[in-house]
Amino acid sequence: MLNTPQDSPSTSTGTKALSDIRILDLTQFEAGPSCTQMLGWLGADVIKVEPPGMGEQGRRASTDSPEVDSVYFMLLNANKRSLTCNLKSEKGKDIIRALIAESDVFIENFGPGVIERLGFSYEEVSRINPRIVYAQIKGFDADGPYAKLLSFDNIAQAAGGSLSVTGDADGRPLTPGVNVGDTGAGLHCSVGILAALHQRERTGKGQRVLINMQEVVINFGRILYAAQAIFGRAVPRRGNSHIMGAAAPCEVYPCKGGGPNDYCLIYSSRAGNKQWESLLKVMGKEELLGDPRFASPQLRYDNSAVINEFITEWSLQRDKYECMRILGEAGVPASAVFDTMELYEDPALRKQGAFVTLPHADRGDFTMPGCPVRMSDSPPTPFAAPLLGDGNDGILAELIGLSTQDIEELRRDKVI
Amino acid sequence: MLNTPQDSPSTSTGTKALSDIRILDLTQFEAGPSCTQMLGWLGADVIKVEPPGMGEQGRRASTDSPEVDSVYFMLLNANKRSLTCNLKSEKGKDIIRALIAESDVFIENFGPGVIERLGFSYEEVSRINPRIVYAQIKGFDADGPYAKLLSFDNIAQAAGGSLSVTGDADGRPLTPGVNVGDTGAGLHCSVGILAALHQRERTGKGQRVLINMQEVVINFGRILYAAQAIFGRAVPRRGNSHIMGAAAPCEVYPCKGGGPNDYCLIYSSRAGNKQWESLLKVMGKEELLGDPRFASPQLRYDNSAVINEFITEWSLQRDKYECMRILGEAGVPASAVFDTMELYEDPALRKQGAFVTLPHADRGDFTMPGCPVRMSDSPPTPFAAPLLGDGNDGILAELIGLSTQDIEELRRDKVI
């Protein structure tokens, strides 16, 4: 059977970290789903609630084929069961109320005000189940001037300062290509949910966890405020230079191949000279050891034009992997600029579980990034994103005790 | 008295989520300290172990004044107590062993192999206290080809694919200005630690949690693999365009003022036309409603030159805040590009706790980003980073039962 959990490898306890936790998941797109996917990877039973018919909007977002669920959806909804439920119908609301009573966590990331209009505010949900942890992800603080504005990853990154420090000094602000706002919010929310579950062990009570994406992005940029304190002004864009300034080399250097990602990032820490001296030795530039122009990280930064020139000469003679290997073994911080295809096809990353291949009913074997949290007593047992409504029968029978006939009726009435 | 917790606001339980958790924290710089700061904000008792004399290296990193702790250190070490301890001395190791027996979590992010050489491998620590959660953050997978390489935030971002998708199409790879690698690793590690503590409630046993920064960065870029599946090749850099393509507008537009961050990011979702139509109305471009050139997100992307022209004309007549307000109220996703000084000085962000001002013995009132995880029953009670060794007497007396004389001896012998 496809899309079901694989057997766990044997462990000392035989269960996963969160195997006693049930999550009623009303989220969509990335910020919410990335949170519940993480909790699902760690063993929680995630019930993904979706509108009957089309399902969550992400199922059809940027798809390569309208006949099957989008890859985008697959990447964010592993380790979940799908329940279709029309939240606007009274019978649908009854189902949700019954499931609230059976769940440990309720989570949503609708636009401002939506969940309250649906009748599932914190007050209403916690009245049904005082033990429930009620989690929400919003774009901005609910009492601030932007409370009613829509948010997406790039909006949150602009609002949280990330764009202002990404790009070249003479260029416009740029959006980082990774989703600090969305997945970052999902991770903060996971932390809050788990902390609230921990507190519940003592208090017997749930509570509300609230995340706003603007503050999430500010948290990822917290050390910028050290640079600001030193410069006495807003932190500028600096290309690939360290945001605190005062370190060189700190740049991507072109390597053999000439492709758009044939570069190696080479860095020498702003704490001392050891890595710099290792770099000179491995590049055969011993004559510069002790050169007063390069005697400190700050001086190297001031003279980085000279440094960049001889490093480029060296890097252009090798491919990026060789640069990374030679420098890395010499104790110089360096990494090839890996592109997504290289990561996806890397056998070592497959072997370590950074990418996992999961069977899916419509797509066959599907490969995606796995769970980066490794736990010795809670091994990853990933399974692919659910087909729409694949959990309906099981969830409604097991958890609410509905009969086959009840379920058939709900289906006929388009409640599920 | 400075640098001590403020009284908690009254809550229904009177304690914080993690107030029963003690963390023995051997971390430095950002990846580890950002994790333990988060857990400290949520109420854990974090004992930061530092070398006697100079303390953690971060205390002197990129400092504006060598006489006091760096702002960098202050930003990452709130809500901790400091214990100085020479980990290379036998007496120092005895102290650590005694504290392991009294702690719930042990965490370190030394370079590869260091903690084992110090005698505190997972096996040794869990032998002393089988209930302890043992957490580690490394740059790369311990069994992979890069296991021995050093990592920093920018190295992890290059290795995890973040640089390959940040920047303009015709430019070199760029490093995002926010610390996806370091703080991202800290958040993943927080999730793992809390999940392990949850599992311990059932099993009575701790376990090992292991995070590598390369996989952390891959996780932040997971939806890139949807774009790759559609394009059939590595995801390219696209400036400010949506990484999945097929959406316009999706750019920063210049606003009145002309400064480096006088831009407003304006986006129209790739799911439908509603936001696009709202944008046309609010910009007085109703004549373009129904124009076939802009009938779908993909068509708008193909014709984005036309779109960018009339939006720029509109945005240049207003400052970025006005652009954000007008568009936001009309339901068009938009955000001013906030710089760090604007965020730092924003009264609304201060009021909501996005920035907090904490008294510090040497620096007086110090303002820094607060905890973005809001919990209704675990209110934030931030306190400033500890002075070096400020917890020595209390920790050694309370937790190990050492006498004033014992402690004096340790101090004399430079063990603490």
Query: Which residue in the set B199, B210, B354 is minimally distant from A218, CB to CB?
Result: B354
Beta-carbon separation of A13 and B234 below 8 A: no
Say how many C-beta atoms besides its own lie within 10 A of residue B387's C-beta: 17
Domain C-terminal end among B318, B336, B354 = B336
Beta-carbon separation of B148 and A373 below 8 A: no
Q: Note the pLDDT of residue B301.
A: 92
Rounded Cα distance between A152 and B271, Å, is 12
Rounded Cα distance between B159 and A320, Å, is 11
Query: Which residue in the set A187, A252, A335 is minimally distant from B159, CB to CB?
Result: A335
On whether residue B34 sits in a domain, the answer given is yes
C-alpha distance from B402 to closest chain A C-alpha (Å): 31
Under DSSP, the state recorded for A271 is S
Residues of B in contact with A197 (CB under 8 A): 198
Residues of B in contact with A360 (CB under 8 A): none
Beta-carbon separation of B167 and A174 below 8 A: yes
On whether residue A6 sits in a domain, the answer given is no
Rounded Cα distance between A11 and A20, Å, is 17
Window B:366-405, CB contacts with A under 8 Å: 368-370, 372-378
On whether residue B359 sits in a domain, the answer given is yes
Q: Note the pLDDT of residue B244.
A: 80
Whether residues A320 and A380 fall in one domain: no
Whether residues B364 and B320 fall in one domain: no
Chain B interface includes A286 (CB < 8 A): no
Beta-carbon separation of B374 and A21 below 8 A: no
Whether residues A54 and A122 fall in one domain: yes
Whether residues A179 and A54 fall in one domain: yes
Q: Note the pLDDT of residue B3.
A: 41
Hey, of A23, A38, A203, A222, which one would you mutate to test binding to chain B, going by the most B CBs within 10 A of its CB? A222
Whether residues B105 and B185 fall in one domain: yes
C-alpha distance from A4 to closest chain B C-alpha (Å): 22
DSSP run (H or E) holding A110:
none
Nearest chain B residue to A325, by CA: B146
Q: Mind spelling out the 3-state secondary structure of chain B?
A: CCCCCCCCCCCCCCCCCCCCCEEEECCCCCHHHHHHHHHHHCCCEEEEEECCCCCCHHHHCCCCCCCCCCHHHHHHCCCCEEEECCCCCHHHHHHHHHHHHCCCEEEECCCCCHHHHCCCCHHHHHHHCCCCEEEEEECCCCCCCCCCCCCCHHHHHHHCCCHHHCCCCCCCCCCCCCCCCHHHHHHHHHHHHHHHHHHHHHHCCCCEEEEEHHHHHHHHCCCHHHHHHHHCCCCCCCCCCCCCCCCCCEEEEECCCCCCCCEEEEECCCCCCHHHHHHHHHCCCHHHCCCHHHCCHHHHHHCHHHHHHHHHHHHCCCCHHHHHHHHHHCCCCEEECCCHHHHHHCHHHHHHCCEEEEEECCCEEEEEECCCCEECCCCCCCCCCCCCCCCHHHHHHHHHCCCHHHHHHHHHCCCC
Residues of B in contact with A30 (CB under 8 A): 223
- Give the CATH number of the domain where residue A319 resides: 3.30.1540.10
C-alpha distance from B77 to closest chain A C-alpha (Å): 12
Nearest chain A residue to B334, by CA: A155
Residues of B in contact with A69 (CB under 8 A): none
C-alpha distance from A403 to closest chain B C-alpha (Å): 33
Domain C-terminal end among B308, B336, B364 = B336
**Spatial contact of B239 and B301, defined as CB atoms under 8 Å apart:** no
Nearest chain B residue to A216, by CA: B372
C-alpha distance from B408 to closest chain A C-alpha (Å): 32
Chain A interface includes B172 (CB < 8 A): yes
Strands (E), A5-96: 22-25, 45-50, 81-84
**Spatial contact of B410 and B52, defined as CB atoms under 8 Å apart:** no
Beta-carbon separation of A209 and B342 below 8 A: no
Rg over CA atoms, chain A = 25
C-alpha distance from A91 to closest chain B C-alpha (Å): 29
Domain C-terminal end among A288, A315, A336 = A336
Residues of A in contact with B298 (CB under 8 A): none
Query: Which residue in the set A252, A270, A328 is minimally distant from B173, CB to CB?
Result: A252
Chain B interface includes A101 (CB < 8 A): no
Whether residues A105 and A139 fall in one domain: yes
On whether residue A375 sits in a domain, the answer given is yes
Residues of A in contact with B330 (CB under 8 A): none
Say how many C-beta atoms besides its own lie within 10 A of residue B113's C-beta: 12
Whether residues B202 and B311 fall in one domain: no
Query: Which residue in the set B21, B146, B245 is minimally distant from A328, CB to CB?
Result: B146
Beta-carbon separation of A202 and B42 below 8 A: no
Chain A interface includes B414 (CB < 8 A): no
Phi, psi dihedrals of residue A107, rounded to the nearest 5°: -140, 140
Residues of A in contact with B239 (CB under 8 A): 174-175
On whether residue A238 sits in a domain, the answer given is no
Q: Note the pLDDT of residue A52.
A: 97
- What is the number of structural domains in chain B? 2
Beta-carbon separation of B164 and A334 below 8 A: no
Whether residues A313 and A404 fall in one domain: no
C-alpha distance from A97 to closest chain B C-alpha (Å): 22
Q: Chain A to chain B, count of Cβ pairs less than 8 Å apart?
A: 520
Chain A interface includes B137 (CB < 8 A): no
Query: Which residue in the set B74, B172, B205 is minimally distant from A252, CB to CB?
Result: B172
On whether residue A228 sits in a domain, the answer given is no
Whether residues A320 and A379 fall in one domain: no
Per-residue pLDDT of chain A (416 residues; tens, 9 = 90+): 334 344 333 345 579 999 999 999 999 999 999 999 999 999 999 999 999 999 999 998 877 788 899 999 999 999 999 999 999 999 999 999 999 999 999 999 999 999 999 999 999 999 999 999 999 999 999 999 999 999 999 999 999 999 999 999 999 999 999 999 999 999 999 999 999 999 999 999 999 999 999 999 999 999 999 999 988 999 999 999 988 877 899 999 999 999 999 999 999 987 789 999 999 999 999 999 999 999 998 899 999 999 999 999 999 999 999 999 999 999 999 999 999 999 999 999 999 999 999 999 999 999 999 999 999 999 989 999 999 999 999 999 999 999 999 999 999 999 99
Whether residues B352 and B291 fall in one domain: no
Nearest chain A residue to B189, by CA: A373
- The tens digit of pLDDT for each residue in B325-354 reads 999 999 999 999 999 999 999 999 999 999
Whether residues B326 and B368 fall in one domain: no
On whether residue A242 sits in a domain, the answer given is no
On whether residue A244 sits in a domain, the answer given is no
Q: Note the pLDDT of residue B133.
A: 98
Window A:314-373, CB contacts with B under 8 Å: 324, 328-329, 331-344, 348-349, 351-352, 354, 368-370, 372-373
Beta-carbon separation of B205 and A329 below 8 A: no
Query: What residues in chain B have per-residue pLDDT under 70?
Result: 1-13
Beta-carbon separation of A180 and B180 below 8 A: yes
- Give the CATH number of the domain where residue A212 resides: 3.40.50.10540
Hey, of A11, A104, A140, A220, which one would you mutate to test binding to chain B, going by the most B CBs within 10 A of its CB? A220
Q: Note the pLDDT of residue B237.
A: 97
Chain B interface includes A175 (CB < 8 A): yes
Chain A interface includes B112 (CB < 8 A): no
Query: Which residue in the set B162, B329, B348 is minimally distant from A178, CB to CB?
Result: B162
Domain that residue B315 falls in: 250-254+263-336
Point out the residues of A that are catalytic. 182
ipTM attached to this prediction: 0.96
Whether residues A93 and A176 fall in one domain: yes
Residues of A in contact with B218 (CB under 8 A): 343, 349, 354, 369, 372
